[in-house]
Amino acid sequence: MHYRTLLDAEDVAFDALEHAAEDGDREHFTEELAAWQKARAARSHWLENCDYDVAVPGRNGSMN
């Protein structure tokens, strides 16, 4: 249930970010980007605390 709440919060934040980008509203885009990043971080933190590996496959820092 908590994870679903975190996903919903991230979806809402991304929708707001998308609207700000589409509207060309730089001030709100910056604010919404920060809100979306905060929501993503909260979800990732929860997953890590539950011992889930949240590493993105194929991303090891190299540019190959």
Residue-wise pLDDT for 21-61, tens only, equals: 999 999 999 999 999 999 999 999 999 999 988 776 676 65
The pTM for the full model equals: 0.75
9 alpha-carbon distance from chain centroid: 9
53 alpha-carbon distance from chain centroid: 16
Residue 61, helix vs strand vs coil: coil
Q: Which residue has the tokens 């929860």?
A: 46
